[in-house]
Amino acid sequence: MNEDGVDMDVGLRFGAICQSARLLVLSFFSLTLLAACAKSDSRKVETFRKTTAQCASTAVAKQYVVRWKDGTTVVYKDTSEEKLLKEVIEPNESEIDVAEQDQKVRLSPPAQSLLDSDSDVLRSQAFANDTTNWGQDKIEASSPSTLGYSGKDVIVAVIDSGVQRNHPQLKNRMYINPGESGLDSQGRDKATNGIDDDGNGLIDDVSGYDFADESGVVNDGSGHGTHVSGVIAADSSAGTIRGLAQGAKILPLD
């Protein structure tokens, strides 16, 4: 709890609940896509799968995923296929389940009719059960405000398709990284100066980060991440959707 008696973990719990089902589906989809984009290599190393021609455009250059038999998954970056085979796969083949080139996974964009208004973006994933409290009802959670919780001082990382950061009900709910905001020593905006001002290894991550494209611009091409963020923290004073923890801040990660 913070000094006001607010449960500091409430926003994170809501974020975890909202995300759990979606992450399970996306994880299954990601593994299925990787399997579909790979074929067994003709070499003796049976655990290595070559990327098929149809998936070459979505393959991540010099990046491979190795799933070990003990259940762990490791991503090897900045390496070649030959180096991976020689240094990782061949010496440990009996301990590896499968290895293949990494693939970018994107959610398909929603129908344009679902993006006709800002509120629809937050509400669209509900489809048949289209009410202002759909998210709250779906996870069977009573409004935390009735229990004295607001999510104040809580940062919720939304690992999804990105977030429409200028959405009227979310623009004041976005987390701002103090190390990447303001002006640098040369008078440039830290959010767009192309420099890792806070030294965390990410450039211009002023409000989240897109790890797939290695960019501080986390746009939402699907609408799903914006919808999930609305369930968590939508500002009810700026629209019809009421977030569960309206005092929380959203940190979009893609």
For the domain that residue 175 is a member of, what is the CATH number? 3.40.50.200
pTM: 0.57
Q: What distance in Å separates the CA atoms of residue 125 and residue 251, rounded to the nearest whole number?
A: 20
Residue 88 sits in the same domain as residue 189: no
Residue 55 sits in the same domain as residue 129: no
Residue 114 sits in the same domain as residue 82: no
Residue 139 counted as domain residue: yes
Residue 88 sits in the same domain as residue 136: no
The predicted structure's pLDDT at residue 128: 35
List the beta bridge partners of residue 68. Answer: 96
H or E element, residue 50: strand 48-51
Residue 25 counted as domain residue: no
The DSSP letter of residue 168 is: T
Q: Are the C-beta atoms of residues 228 and 160 closer than 8 Å to each other?
A: yes
Residue 2 counted as domain residue: no
- The total number of structural domains in the chain stands at 2
- Expressed as residue numbers, the domain containing 53 is 37-103
Residue 126 sits in the same domain as residue 246: yes
Residue 85 sits in the same domain as residue 125: no
Query: Where is the domain boundary, 103, 130, 161?
Result: 103
Query: Where is the domain boundary, 78, 103, 128?
Result: 103
Residue 186 sits in the same domain as residue 88: no
Radius of gyration of the chain (CA): 21
Place of tokens 């609408």: 223
Residue 114 sits in the same domain as residue 95: no
H or E element, residue 21: helix 10-36
Residue 14 counted as domain residue: no
Residue 43 sits in the same domain as residue 94: yes
* Most distant pair of Cα atoms in the chain: their distance: 64
Q: Are the C-beta atoms of residues 167 and 122 closer than 8 Å to each other?
A: yes
The predicted structure's pLDDT at residue 47: 78
Percent helix, percent strand, percent coil in the chain, to nearest 5: 35, 20, 45
Residue 57 counted as domain residue: yes
Residue 156 counted as domain residue: yes
How do the pLDDT tens digits run along the chain, 254 residues long?
A: 444 443 434 333 434 434 444 444 344 445 455 555 665 544 446 778 888 887 888 889 999 999 999 989 999 999 999 999 999 999 999 999 999 999 887 655 554 444 444 444 454 443 334 445 777 777 777 666 677 788 899 999 999 989 998 899 999 999 999 999 999 999 999 999 999 999 999 999 999 999 988 899 998 888 889 989 988 998 888 888 888 888 999 999 98
The residues, any chain, with a CB within 8 Å of residue 148's CB and separated by 6 or more, are: 5, 6
Residue 115 sits in the same domain as residue 78: no
Residue 81 sits in the same domain as residue 146: no
The predicted structure's pLDDT at residue 106: 63
H or E element, residue 77: strand 73-77
Residue 199 sits in the same domain as residue 123: yes
The predicted structure's pLDDT at residue 115: 45
